[in-house]
Chains A and B, each alone.
Chain A
Amino acid sequence: MLLREGSKGAASSGALKVAALVSLGRHPVTGRGRRAEQDARAVELGLSLTSSEHISLIHAGTAADETVQAMRGYLGMGLDALDLIVQPPDADVLPALATRVMETRPGLVLCGSRGESGEASGMLPYLLAERLGWTLVSGVAKVEAVEGDSMTVLQALPRGQRRRLKVRLPAIATVDSAAPPPRQSAFGPARRAKVRHFELSGQIDAEAADWTVSPARKRPKRLKIVKASSARDRFKVAAAKAEGGGGQVVKGVSAQAGAEAILKLLREEGVVR
């Protein structure tokens, strides 16, 4: 039954198959291993879309005790199993994840916007989408509906703004901190769930080997000097939107004209040379 549905297309009918990519989180104060906050929100979002048997949890990394323990944090949310793709500590996990996602062929891949351990560059979903050739939608706060092979999502923008997007499936969605908080992780289900180990030859991240890693330091921040005489003024300053300054709104033009406008801006900003 499931197979036939799958053969018609990942999300064409019935239950949507969701894969959540989860990583080893770190508590910001103690640095202790835990489920990562945003990845847990991704799992929560998945649970709100479909029942737990249609969600596969995937982690690529080492099989260290700390990792497995943290993975149980996700499993305690009510999932039966997690696929742990065992990789060497210095591996680039992208190829392994891409292979696994291709094998399981989910309709939707969910993950946090960025990890809490490792590089935590937030690049992984983009690179994965590029490799798979899938749509990527970033900063999702809510999935409003899944219809056939597309879904409607709300994308979180600064200051509580939302943008409604219609996304073709299969897609990768990164989940924003504005998404609903993850449910409590329960000890019993976490203990019973299976962590399935998969051995996949790791690709050593040669580039990263040359990097020097040092603890992040807080950058000095320019103080905003507020010359306001009343509380009302101070409030207005505090609540004011950051001034965009410049830029233009391009609306109702052809795709060609829009693309040119974007390319022009990127040239101006020196992103594209």
Chain B
Amino acid sequence: MLDVVLPVLVLGALALALLGAFRRISLWRQGRPSPVSILGGLAVMPRRYLVDLHDVVARDKVFANTHVATGGGFVAAAVLLILVHGFQVQSRLLSWALLAATVVMFVGALRVAARRRNPPARLSRGPWMRLPKSLFAFASGVFLVTLPTAGILPAGFGGWALAAVLTLVIAWGISEMFLGMTWGGPMKHAFAGALHLAFHRRPERFGGGRSTGLKPLDLKDATAPLGVGKPADFKWNQLLGFDACVQCGRCEAMCPAFAAGQPLNPKKLIQDMVIGMAGGTDAAYAGSPYPGKPVGEHGGDAHSPIVLREGRALVDAETLWSCTTCRACVEECPMMIEHVDAIVDMRRFLTMEHGNTPNKGREVLENLATTDNPGGFDPASRMNWAADLDLPLMAKRGTADVLLWMGDGAFDMRNQRTLRALVKVLRAAQVDFAVLGNEELDSGDVARRLGDEATFQALAVRNAATLGKYRFREIVTCDPHSFHVLKNEYPAFGASYTVTHHSTFISNLMEKGRLALGEWTGGRVTYHDPCYLGRYNGEYEAPRKALKGIGIKVVEMERSGFRSRCCGGGGGAPITDIPGKRRIPDMRMEEINSTKADIVAVGCPQCTAMLEGVVGPRPEVCDIAELVAAQLVEAPKVERQRQEEVMV
């Protein structure tokens, strides 16, 4: 009986799954066009899956092995099942291989079940809780019906009663594993995930690369939507990316806004986008909600607004404004989903269509448009901090080895100390540098992350024109936000330069022996990685090398390097200032305090401001430039003469 039922079951399920796949694809195709190579993408997909994705999954060793066993076992079992039972290929070898695959899958499913027994809060429940049972059903059912074909048991063993039971078990397993893949359910991640990897919007991220700059909006095209107002405004491969989410909640565990009790949970946001794409409400969502927002009150569809000016739709505006764009979620996501792109896309719509940037947003954006800096300071006073330093101006020199990009920290009295320290270091190393002076404008970082692409592009175009007038080898800046924007986002506006963060530049100077430095006698030092230097640009080593160069042994925090926690200062978050239960810098300072450090070294004006805003007692906050400048000693005369000769 089984040899009649099984082929019908397997091939029928395949046909239905195929139908589901067409439906799913039509959901993605509601999005706007995005040019990707279909065949090329499919060709590189296995490599992206086995290498790039697995690298991220393998940060959790136990689960990585579980997934290899379950997923690998399943893929092998599914292919063999279709051959052996679907097309009734008579082969002892294939049957034995199928048995082996189901055993591997079964072992994996045991581990999945163990993890689901007492799951951590970040994992979604609901349908995900039945997944291990479905895996068992599939693995054990297929194992049992394959025993006769492998010749272990006689055909017809157990009679029709057993066959009927086995049919039911396999039907359960197959509907979860095959139908669930395309009609929705936990297994959807396998189908959508594979295609998401193939058609990823940032292919540069695979093979060890990095792609973190925001994509420009074409403002010249008056018909293109300004950002994303409804789910169908996303690019189709962004919608596909949302569908790939496995609800593992690694993003949730890393999100500083979520931890601070602000109404954002990256996992829920991605699920809300899936709801928006397919239509419905979030009532069935079974994970952690946005803090302070009950589940079941929001919903929408692909062609309705995501955010309403008044009332509830798919997502509330404050959810989108809670994000610090720290990229911790993106870094952590095993499916390589781009949360920050989606959030900024939706912010663009809120700012450029609704004109509804919260709190100080309006003021800051108006200041940027009228004074080229977010504080509304007189642009002619940009150089006031250096009135006594006699800095060489590019306008007079025309050329220099290094262009020192000051950033808007030039208006901030705290950051002026950092800048002065940096100038001291550059002079001690006899670096040939110049500044743009009052010609420099805000890089546009804040405007862009607040969704005001128009103001950003206006600033970018003008800055690019200024930079184009002069000749220099590289740009050095002590502001990672300017660094990121100049390095990764200006090339789209015709300004491609070598941009270096001051910590990298200083550590290079140290390596070349251009700095005479004394021994560190201060206390314990920990280092706080800025998001825009670390996760955005992969620079984790240089700041540590620079600190090592002055004899500091960095006491690492638990969250450091690519898992560093944001200070709360990115993405315009201090401007939009969405209330939560705690402040993000307070949480970060607790982590700093737990290292018992006397000094926390930073490399970013935003981090400095946010961490110095934490009430004491707390460690002193010092920029790397300040620490290095304090260690400078007079170089021996002979040495210096030699250096001068080298310089000439």
Interface size on B, residues (CB 8 A): 23
Q: Which one, B295-303, B350-358, B487-495, is touching chain A?
A: B350-358
Q: What residues of chain B lie closer than 8 Å to A192, measured between beta carbons?
A: 222
Tell me which residues from 317 to 356 in chain B have a Cβ below 8 Å from any Cβ of chain A: 351-356
| Interface flag for B623 (CB, 8 Å) | no
- Cβ-defined contact, B371 with A76, below 8 A: no
| Chain B minimum-CB-distance residue to A33 | B370
- Complex CA distance for A188 and B350, rounded to whole angstroms: 10
- Complex CA distance for A188 and B348, rounded to whole angstroms: 10
Tell me which residues from 171 to 229 in chain A have a Cβ below 8 Å from any Cβ of chain B: 183-189, 191-192
- Cβ-defined contact, A29 with B376, below 8 A: yes
* Contact A29 B371, CB 8 Å, known A187-B226, A188-B226: yes
* Contact A184 B362, CB 8 Å, known A27-B371, A30-B371: yes
Q: Nearest chain A CB to B438's CB is how many angstroms away?
A: 12
- Complex CA distance for A9 and B355, rounded to whole angstroms: 34
| The residue from A34, A77, A78, A184 contacting B370, defined by CB atoms under 8 A apart | A34
Q: Nearest chain A CB to B299's CB is how many angstroms away?
A: 25
Q: Nearest chain B CB to A191's CB is how many angstroms away?
A: 7
| The residue from B222, B356, B377 contacting A184, defined by CB atoms under 8 A apart | B356
Q: What are 18 contact pairs spanning A and B, CB under 8 A? A: A27-B371, A29-B370, A29-B371, A29-B377, A30-B371, A30-B378, A32-B371, A34-B369, A184-B356, A184-B361, A184-B362, A184-B365, A184-B366, A186-B351, A187-B351, A187-B352, A187-B454, A188-B352
| Interface flag for B379 (CB, 8 Å) | yes
- Cβ-defined contact, B370 with A30, below 8 A: yes
Nearest 7 CB-CB pairs, A to B? Answer: A186-B355, A184-B355, A184-B362, A187-B352, A27-B370, A188-B353, A187-B454
| Interface flag for B452 (CB, 8 Å) | yes
- Cβ-defined contact, B378 with A29, below 8 A: yes
Tell me which residues from 118 to 162 in chain B have a Cβ below 8 Å from any Cβ of chain A: none
The 0/1 profile, CB within 8 Å of B marked 1, for residues 151-186 of chain A is 000000000000000000000000000000001111
B residues sitting closer than 8 Å to A (CB atoms) are 222, 226, 351-357, 361-362, 365-366, 369-371, 376-379, 452-454
Q: Nearest chain B CB to A249's CB is how many angstroms away?
A: 41
- Cβ-defined contact, B370 with A76, below 8 A: no
- Cβ-defined contact, B355 with A183, below 8 A: yes
| The residue from A29, A30, A32, A185 contacting B355, defined by CB atoms under 8 A apart | A185
Q: What residues of chain A lie closer than 8 Å to B351, measured between beta carbons?
A: 184, 186-187
- Complex CA distance for A78 and B452, rounded to whole angstroms: 17
Q: What residues of chain A lie closer than 8 Å to B362, measured between beta carbons?
A: 183-184
- Cβ-defined contact, A32 with B370, below 8 A: yes
- Complex CA distance for A228 and B180, rounded to whole angstroms: 81
- Cβ-defined contact, A191 with B378, below 8 A: no
Q: What residues of chain B lie closer than 8 Å to A76, measured between beta carbons?
A: 355
- Cβ-defined contact, A189 with B357, below 8 A: no
| Chain B minimum-CB-distance residue to A25 | B370
Q: What residues of chain A lie closer than 8 Å to B353, measured between beta carbons?
A: 186-189
- Cβ-defined contact, B357 with A184, below 8 A: yes
Q: What residues of chain B lie closer than 8 Å to A185, measured between beta carbons?
A: 355
| The residue from B222, B354, B369 contacting A186, defined by CB atoms under 8 A apart | B354
- Complex CA distance for A53 and B357, rounded to whole angstroms: 24
Q: What residues of chain A lie closer than 8 Å to B355, measured between beta carbons?
A: 76-78, 183-186, 189
| Chain B minimum-CB-distance residue to A35 | B366
